[in-house]
Structure 1
Amino acid sequence: MRTRFTGRHAKFAIAATAALLAATPSSSQTVSDNAVPQAGLNIPEQLTIFGEDNPNVRRATAIVNGDIITGTDVSQRLALIVTANGGTVSKEEEDRLRLQVLRNLIDETLQIQEAEANEITISQAEIDQTFNQVVQQNFRRDLNSIEPYLRRNGSSTYTLKQQIKGELAWSRLLRRNIQPFINVGDEEVNAIIERLNASKGTTEYRIGEIYMSAAPEAAEQVASNMRQILDQIRQGGSFVAYARQFSEASTAVTGGDLGWVRPVQLPQSLADAAAQMQIGQVVGPVQVPGGFSILYLIDQRQILTADPRNAVLSLKQLAIGFPPGTTEAQATSRAAEFATATQNIKGCGAANEIAANIGASVVDNDQVRLKDLPGPLQSTIANLQIGQASQPFGSVTDGVRVLILCGRDDPQTATAPSFDKIMSDLENERINKRAQIYLRDLRRDAIIEYN
């Protein structure tokens, strides 16, 4: 169990920038959009903006408390994002991403500066260890090929390692300056365990989230930005990569993963959206208090109830292929013969002999989780009895195969998270809320010069 609101530590004032993006450049602009004034700022509804307000003429460089963020830094970080999301974005999307990247780099610089001021040093070995994990998980490449790969795409290993350094430094700073002052009582943990037991059998969700804050006057522009992100993800972009770069929630460092949450832990709009989603679906932007979210439903389960999809299966696969030039009609005829032969299998003991008779290959696997199979196959295999074969599936290109269920180990009854796990989650929630305030104060005190 993880608590929903783990602290929105914003990656910069997106609302203000969104408002600037929405403005039409002119030497004198009159605005009358009936926007609600910010509390305490006494901003009139009727106002005039004097001078040019065109973000396109600003250079994407800054000096943050004396540390320079160069145009190369911005370009390489932008290229890293584009590369991680398929390698192509529109010019309009690229311009929007560039503005967001600069905000991210400013926050990252402030975090590293504060860590250094507190004599926190991140060793090169720590950076390299995390770097190796990210390369394998996010880029699916080995360490020898990642540097030339990133350079061909306009980025570098330096910019990825710098991002990792910022995340590690900020995390260690929070552990030193905030975590020791966080207290969670035993009675709080016991109360959560009681609520979990009372909720047994109800649904909980594992959700990924990209959150962006939005003041009322900038809501339309922020929502538009998020729709563009959603389009990129639906076209094959990495949800995790976009969450790491652009989510203003503290869960950005984990790719937006909120962990397992119950509907009561979510804002009502998110709970309603999650209840309508299918596993693997991405929706948004969903309006929440203070901004908008894009949701990704990673998984769902019943609280304290064994998930039948966690059953471990022993499977035998029989497969046939088709030689080049096989027509659809020929493949269909061959597949029908294959189906007839395999449906007559009486247990896994007879499968090898039948496979030899029909020229099929055989593969055994005794450690397959039902939930790891493709969605369309899960319900089919779940309903098989021991020794039965599935209906044939495949294509002319990939061949046709069947799966025979040789054994099944059903999951044990689920239990509540441990006392220590719940206490750790509560501590992390409070640390992240303090982190939001900490970063806000760093921004407020920073001296930032734009070139």
Structure 2
Amino acid sequence: MIDQFVTKLLGGLAAASLAATPVAAAAQDAQAAQDAQAAAAAQQEVRVGPYGIPAAAVLAKLEDENNRSPIAVVNGRVITGTDLAQRVALLVSTSGGELSPQELVQVRMQVLTNLIDEVLQIQAATAQEMVVEEAMVQQRYAEVAQRNFASSPDPVGSMDRQLEQFGSSAISLKQQIRGEIAWQSLLRRNVVPFINVSAEEARERLEQLEATRGTDEYRIGEIYLSATPETREAVARNANAIVQQIQQGGSFVAYARQFSEASTREVGGDLGWVQLNRLPNEMSELVSQMQVGQLVGPVEIPGGFNIILLIDKRQVLSADPRDARLGLKQISIEIPAGATEEQAAQQIQQFTSTIQSAGGCAAVDDVAAQIGAEVVPNSAVPARTLPGQLQQAVLNMQVGQITQPFGSLEEGVRVLMLCSREMPQAGAQQSVEDIRQEIENERIEKRAQAFLRDLRNDADIRYN
């Protein structure tokens, strides 16, 4: 449930799953001592983020989960231990295991920088008489709840309870939504109107694309952490910890949204499709050697560190089977609680045989109803948005066929039936307007980063 909860709404707040490895008792004691020593050192020395937050001044208050005293004051606005604890709780509760003391130190410090940015964005919007109305926040929150708890008779109540179970709250998540709405409003007023990309400039880039037709372009994810000479070592440790968490199963989108200081954090760090000649030299050399799905970093660049994920790869202006749009039906059943493995296997086999014998999408709804299965139709689904294994399986299927069953005994077993496939046209042409929008987005991102830096530099931030 939590994967759907975070990725559909805010790009995810999930952390990584940490697998425990059996070791000898002596090794465990030694490791525990090292962890304690590292945590103590981190509490005394770590400074993370653009503000150089003094860890020693705030960490003592974070040890008490019930602490409500101020941790930071941003232009007179207090950030309390409760504010921070609830954000951290949501992050930690979605991990597959416990974070080490040192990792918790880094997470707390980085989440605190995010909260400070959030306050600055809301304050700036308010100063420009762009107050985020409560109704807007409630509407966005309800939309999130509906997407993630659609089967519940009370989606909002279900999400409220889920957050409480995490040790977080609806108030905390709504505040994050409020910050995002405020920032979008600020950009629309202070940045977007001043970005002007002419049709001529867009045509020139389109001509450049035509000249490179058939060459590779890359869809890249980034997590950018700023650093100064004083904070460089601490930020590097933080970046390495994030890389380790993602490599152990954490969501790149989640970490990008929570930790990245680039404006692409709003879309989970997604830079979109780019060619190597439009990337900094440090990045282009790395990306050209990466495989799809590979994570690299942290890479030191002017002003900080980048963590890079190669999300996808394709050829410029060339058709790709993964751009096909698919009509799918998801058919699922629940396995009775207490069923043995043998009983579950028999039910799954009978379920798949029955669905496959339906003869296609037209009749599958009636067949599913007879066996108590649920059918959810999905139209025009881009093939490349499916998970890797499912993507390849569906592309190899004929209309009317189903995938192998997937899911779990606890959450239900499901199959996908292919109902239609709309193949991409060869040599698909981007329009001048598409290119103009792409250039505009690039410039908005750069201006947004500068805007946020100005808000930070002008702020009065004190730590208690």
| TM-score normalized with structure 1 length | 0.69
1:297 matched to 2:307: no
Counterpart secondary structure, 2:430: coil
- Alpha-carbon distance in structure 2 between the residues aligned to 1:58 and 1:402: 50
Q: Displacement, 1:102?
A: 1.6
Choose the corresponding residue for 2:129, options 105, 111, 119. Answer: 119
Residue of structure 2 in register with 1:207 after alignment: 220
Q: Deviations over 1:360-384 (max 9, x none)?
A: x9x9x99786546664576677678
Counterpart secondary structure, 1:146: helix
Mapped contact 1:209–1:258 kept (Cα < 8 A): yes
Pairing of 1:363-402 with structure 2 (within 5 A): 371=384, 375=388
Counterpart secondary structure, 1:61: strand
Letter of the 1:129 partner, please give it. Q
Letter of the 1:269 partner, please give it. E
Residue of structure 2 in register with 1:41 after alignment: none
Residue of structure 1 in register with 2:292 after alignment: 279
Mapped contact 2:57–2:463 kept (Cα < 8 A): no
- Alpha-carbon distance in structure 1 between the residues aligned to 2:60 and 2:309: 34
Q: Deviations over 1:291-328 (max 9, x none)?
A: 222223322221111102234679999xxxxx9676xx
Q: Displacement, 1:447?
A: 1.8
Counterpart secondary structure, 2:132: coil
Mapped contact 2:403–2:417 kept (Cα < 8 A): no
1:130 matched to 2:143: no
Q: Displacement, 1:76?
A: 1.0
Q: Percent identity?
A: 51
Choose the corresponding residue for 1:410, options 420, 423, 429. Answer: 423
Residue of structure 1 in register with 2:271 after alignment: 258
1:442 matched to 2:455: yes
Q: Per the alignment, do residues 155 and 194 of structure 1 end up closer, same or farther by CA in structure 2, a change over 3 Å counting?
A: same
Pairing of 1:181-220 with structure 2 (within 5 A): 181-216=194-229, 218-220=231-233
Choose the corresponding residue for 2:243, options 207, 210, 230. Answer: 230
Larger radius of gyration: 1
Mapped contact 2:256–2:265 kept (Cα < 8 A): yes
| TM-score normalized with structure 2 length | 0.67
Residue of structure 1 in register with 2:11 after alignment: none
Mapped contact 1:197–1:416 kept (Cα < 8 A): no
Q: Deviations over 1:47-72 (max 9, x none)?
A: xxxxx994566657111111111111
Residue of structure 1 in register with 2:333 after alignment: none
- Alpha-carbon distance in structure 2 between the residues aligned to 1:22 and 1:260: 42
- Alpha-carbon distance in structure 2 between the residues aligned to 1:442 and 1:312: 43
Where in structure 1 are there 5+ consecutive unaligned residues?
1-20, 27-51, 318-322, 353-360
Mapped contact 1:80–1:160 kept (Cα < 8 A): no
Counterpart secondary structure, 2:85: helix
Counterpart secondary structure, 1:191: helix
Mapped contact 2:223–2:259 kept (Cα < 8 A): yes
Q: Which structure ranks higher in relative contact order (CA pairs < 8 Å, sequence separation ≥ 6)? A: 1
Q: Per the alignment, do residues 434 and 258 of structure 1 end up closer, same or farther by CA in structure 2, a change over 3 Å counting?
A: same
Choose the corresponding residue for 2:189, options 164, 176, 179. Answer: 176
Mapped contact 2:58–2:463 kept (Cα < 8 A): no
Deviates more, 1:407-416 or 1:203-212: 407-416
Q: Displacement, 1:167?
A: 1.2
Q: Per the alignment, do residues 264 and 137 of structure 1 end up closer, same or farther by CA in structure 2, a change over 3 Å counting?
A: farther
1:433 matched to 2:446: yes
Mapped contact 1:61–1:102 kept (Cα < 8 A): no
